[in-house]
Amino acid sequence: MEKAKMKMLAADNRLEELRNRSRLTQEEVSIITGYSIPAISRHENRTRSLSEEAIKKYASLYKVETHELFRLEQEEV
């Protein structure tokens, strides 16, 4: 019997896209936010979760609402 494919919503952050749109480097974001460059890279690559404080900092920096930092995508499982 074939397994049914399920669709799940995955949250994908838009941090790198917003940083590039703002024409900022990770180094500049590091200076502004106080986060290390490796931490910013991990935030952008979703290998480190975002705290509520980080979400608010990034939203303020990129002048967007907090929910605009994320994109919901459907992925098949």
Residue 77 lies in a domain: no
Range of the domain at 35: 14-72
Q: What is the CATH number of the domain that holds 63?
A: 1.10.260.40
Q: Average pLDDT per run of 10 along the chain, which is 77 residues long?
A: 42 86 98 96 89 94 92 60
Helices (H), the chain: 15-21, 26-33, 37-44, 52-62
1 part of a folded domain? no
* pLDDT score recorded for residue 57: 96
Question: Residue 9 domain-assigned?
Answer: no
pLDDT at res. 54: 93
pLDDT score, position 71: 77
Does 3 fall in a domain? no
- Residue 49 has a pLDDT of 85
Identify the residue whose tokens are 């992925």: 75
* Number of domains present in the structure of the chain: 1
Q: Is 58 part of any domain?
A: yes
Question: Does residue 7 sit within a domain?
Answer: no
CA dihedral (75, 72, 27, 37) in degrees, to 10, reads: -60
Cβ atoms 8, 77 nearer than 8 A: yes
**5 part of a folded domain:** no
